[in-house]
Structures are given as structure tokens and as C-alpha cells.
């Protein structure tokens, strides 16, 4: 069985999230998704709209996802790979080269992001809409 793992915050879940998860799952037989905890997001300077429990529940409900684990820190990836018998580590191509050090544990694949959609862009559009004086 070929196992795949990917990581993300998955706030304001959107079509781009679904596409990257479905494409990650298509690379193997089993998909593990590590969802960033609220505490880890705070360390990264990210503020989520929804708490970890809700974001992980949304991801867990997807038929392409087999297992959800918490992402608590940057350093946990090698241990996650070993403890889940992972063959392929997948991230969006905006992270290209940042996780090549994991090649000692498994294959590393960077997938193209879905064009025209990002959580940051959605948040900026909402903020702009709410501050528009029309």
C-alpha cells in the first residue's frame, strides 16, 4: 500500500483545498492529512477563522482523506512519516524546495496550486468588501 501525507491549515475550506487533497490521494492508496493546530498557527502568526476541531472535522469528512492528525510544529514531519509508514510527502508548489530534506524518508512531490483561489485572497476580498464605503 502506498501512503501519502500532506500538511495545511485548511481554513475557509475551498475548491483549491479539495483539488490538492484529491490530487495527493491519487498518488497513493491512503492519504494522511496533518491539519495545523490553533497553537501552531499562533506561532506562525496565522489567525484562523475556524478552530482546529472544526477544520480537522471538515477535512476528515472528505472521502479522499483516510486519516487526520494534528500538526503541532515544523519539526514533526520526519516522525509523522516514519510512524505512518509514508511513501510520498506532498505540498503545494509554493513550498518548492523547502521540504527536499524529507527525501531521506520518502518521495517528495510539489503539486501546482489551483489557479485563481487562495485562502489569503478570500480573506482579503472579505476584508475589502467589509471596509468598502459604497
CA distance 87 to 30: 10
Based on the residue annotation, tell me whether 46 is a catalytic residue of this protein: yes
Q: Give the Cα separation of 108 and 4 in Å (integer).
A: 10
Residue-wise pLDDT for 87-129, tens only, equals 999 999 999 999 999 999 999 999 998 776 777 777 676 777 7
Q: Is 96 a catalytic residue?
A: no
Segment 57-81, tens digit of pLDDT: 999 999 999 999 999 999 999 999 9
Active-site position among 44, 96, 98, 127: 44
Asked if 36 and 77 count as a contact pair (C-beta separation under 8 A), the reply is no
5-60 pLDDT tens trace: 999 999 989 889 999 999 999 999 999 999 999 999 999 999 899 999 999 999 99
Give the span between the Cα atoms of 37 and 30, in whole angstroms.
22
- Those residues whose C-beta lies under 8 Å from the C-beta of residue 38, and which sit 6 or more positions away, are 48, 51, 52
- The verdict on pTM exceeding 0.75 is yes
Amino acid at each position: 500500500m502506498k501512503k501519502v501525507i500532506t500538511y495545511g491549515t485548511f481554513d475557509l475550506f475551498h475548491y483549491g483545498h479539495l483539488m490538492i487533497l484529491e490530487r495527493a490521494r491519487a498518488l497513493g492508496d491512503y492519504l494522511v492529512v496533518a491539519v495545523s493546530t490553533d497553537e501552531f498557527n499562533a506561532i506562525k502568526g496565522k489567525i484562523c477563522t475556524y478552530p482546529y476541531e472544526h477544520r480537522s472535522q471538515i477535512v476528515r469528512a472528505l472521502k479522499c482523506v483516510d486519516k487526520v492528525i494534528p500538526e503541532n510544529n515544523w519539526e514533526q514531519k520526519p516522525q509523522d512519516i516514519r510512524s505512518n509508514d509514508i511513501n510520498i510527502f506532498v505540498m503545494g508548489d509554493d513550498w518548492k524546495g523547502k521540504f527536499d530534506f524529507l527525501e531521506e524518508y520518502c518521495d517528495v512531490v510539489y503539486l501546482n496550486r489551483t489557479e485563481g483561489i487562495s485562502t489569503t485572497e478570500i480573506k482579503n476580498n472579505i476584508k475589502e468588501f467589509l471596509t468598502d464605503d459604497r
